Structure 1
């Protein structure tokens, strides 16, 4: 039975949507899949770097005990009397190291310095320091979350996630019937185009469920700040305390962190503190954010807020007791990074992430082969794809090197030029091409 014209039109429309969505966002999707495959190991990578290059480690006690950081905190205040915006990150393993991340304010914002102190939470002492912003862990997260660009980056990542959703769904609708006719996982080797096309289809179908979850959660996480602003969405652990004292008075209140751990243990027994923050805005509060073993939610989504003066609880968020809406909100990041099933799941996420990155490359090769005769290119599709891939990889490596060895601001500035420049060129190209097509239907500047 031959397909009717409506079926053909529907198939052609799906193919065009898949083709253009993949072509114009494929590079961004490829970068996000590549960096995401590495970013799932950020805690493990950072822990290895701490031990290997900073020689910081601790010997856990034989019996479980509450962390101790009061002496280290007192010493940090002596070394950096102008510290502000202190964030205390606690380890998730008994042999892990805590970090004090803070800013030392200068004459203006540009002269502020960011620091991270490595702290032994067992023996209560400072082990070393580094610039937090210039770390590999920060580079991986910033590149994956916002392409290292502060203004448009996160929105572009979110839109790339939306495009990835479109590509995944249309790819399934287009190639689902095709895969019924071709034994799985048979790869035809007639020529490069067919070889790459078959790999593209088979890997796309194999990673379909993974790609759909990653695309949907990535789209949400990328567009989350704007969507929450536009639709007045509140995070489940969002708590707004009232201002009760002067900001300077609030910042000068001494915090006994060992007591904070005891209060957290008493008021929220299952909570494993992930990070803590004392207020400097006049609310006189201490926030303790953490995770609960066995939950499939993003890290540190549970929280406890206590008074900085009385150490009495003011707010508690146990996500296991929250509404379905709040649970759905809180599961997105965990699903996106595979941060709930141990090292084995992370390895699976990394393999599937690299598979998704390959889909961008194979799709580009197939596109170039399809249009090669019409465009009469001097370089073969494989060579063109190889050059583009190496160029993009070099750019990522260069930005990483600048970020780690020169400075975060300099790397961010270069990334902003590349991202915004590429976006501007693309918009100008699209408008110019559209105008020329209207003026001369047969003309094209592709």
Structure 2
């Protein structure tokens, strides 16, 4: 988007109205030049990174389909009708995963909303092992049989996701991309302001096909930019919020979680653990209108050294991202505490489906992908306009207008 949203008079806005004074016209022109400079440089700063995010985000929109294409998808086998409604215990599912990796300890047991029959058990050498060094095992929830491992480190999906989330730079990479997202939002807003005089003069989305090539590129840049305006603002804002997830989780741990586990400070490490089934049943009694989203085992970031944290979620399309943690004493399976999440984590959870477009099935995926491609066109055309700004034909094109 580095190309300026030039107006039909070569970048100088038309007078606000016919009766405006010369001073007001000069002030308006100065303000427009400032906005143009803001748009130019904010666009130049963020364009390369926005292109990276768009190009890596596009295949991630079709994450399941990508797994099928690469052969990494794990699907539930067909069982006889008499066994279709069976459900193995959560403890049996956990044992099946640990049998695959005997030297590991459990970190999480996860149920994806669209794959309730395929819980994923995340294991690692230690409870505090970083996410990139863990292993995941998909287990059939009906038979407690391990079905394989989802795409892991080194897979195409993993590489795309890491580039999209943090560029393999950890928290610094996330925060840097979040800053680029804010700069991108500034580029969008400033671009709209610079485009408004041209819009009022000739109408929204006009493309002057009879003009020189650079003018045609400029008009397409402006028109497609206005078409994708709402989507780009939405995805840019929610993406910037998502980059703060680690900081928000740490704030929750230092605030609410610290209050809930305060009575356990100084207690010795766990010797034996209660049943996972008992922990989930305790959580279901606390939140009877919700269903399990994932269980965080003792010692992980989403729990404490002495607790199962059973994270319950809503059971509807609009409530599936609403989570409530229930802390269960991991030694006896009794309830410790449960509280609603603070507002900032609610904002984070609400922003995630809006960013990824993964809540409306294939039609929404196609819509998200189409606007992703259009945004790439806006970014690419803006870059072209910047790189060709010293083209000797530029002066002749400006004169032709």
- Structure 1 length normalisation: TM-score? 0.70
Displacement, 1:217? 2.1
Secondary structure of 2:373's match? helix
Q: Within the alignment, does 1:302 sit opposite 2:321 as a pair? A: no
Displacement, 1:65? 6.6
Q: Within the alignment, does 1:312 sit opposite 2:331 as a pair? A: no
- 1-side partners of 2:256 and 2:219: how far apart? 48
Name 1:441's counterpart in structure 2.
Answer: none
- Structure 1 alignment gaps of length 5 or more: 376-446
Q: Specify which structure has the bigger relative contact order, considering alpha-carbon pairs within 8 angstroms and separated by 6 or more residues.
A: 2
Which residues in structure 2 correspond to 1:47-446 (within 5 Å)? 48=68, 52-53=71-72, 56-59=75-78, 68-84=89-105, 86-93=107-114, 96-104=117-125, 114-129=134-149, 132-150=152-170, 152-189=172-209, 190-223=211-244, 225=246, 228=248, 233-234=251-252, 238-240=256-258, 241=261, 242-243=264-265, 245-247=267-269, 250=270, 253-280=272-299, 283-294=305-316, 296=318, 299=321, 301-318=323-340, 327-373=346-392
- Structure 2 alignment gaps of length 5 or more: 1-13, 17-24, 395-401
- 2-side partners of 1:130 and 1:352: how far apart? 29
Name 1:8's counterpart in structure 2.
Answer: 29
Name 2:7's counterpart in structure 1.
Answer: none
Does structure 2 retain, via aligned residues, the 8 Å contact 1:37–1:350? yes
Give the 3 Å change call, closer, same or farther, for CA 292–207 of structure 1 in structure 2.
same
Give the 3 Å change call, closer, same or farther, for CA 361–245 of structure 1 in structure 2.
same
Secondary structure of 1:81's match? coil
- Structure 2 length normalisation: TM-score? 0.77
In terms of mean alpha carbon deviation, does 329-338 or 210-219 score higher? 329-338
Displacement, 1:68? 3.2
Secondary structure of 1:35's match? helix
Displacement, 1:199? 1.4
Give the 3 Å change call, closer, same or farther, for CA 237–64 of structure 1 in structure 2.
farther
Give the 3 Å change call, closer, same or farther, for CA 253–287 of structure 1 in structure 2.
same
- 2-side partners of 1:371 and 1:290: how far apart? 58
Give the 3 Å change call, closer, same or farther, for CA 131–223 of structure 1 in structure 2.
closer
Give the 3 Å change call, closer, same or farther, for CA 54–15 of structure 1 in structure 2.
closer
- 1-side partners of 2:51 and 2:257: how far apart? 37
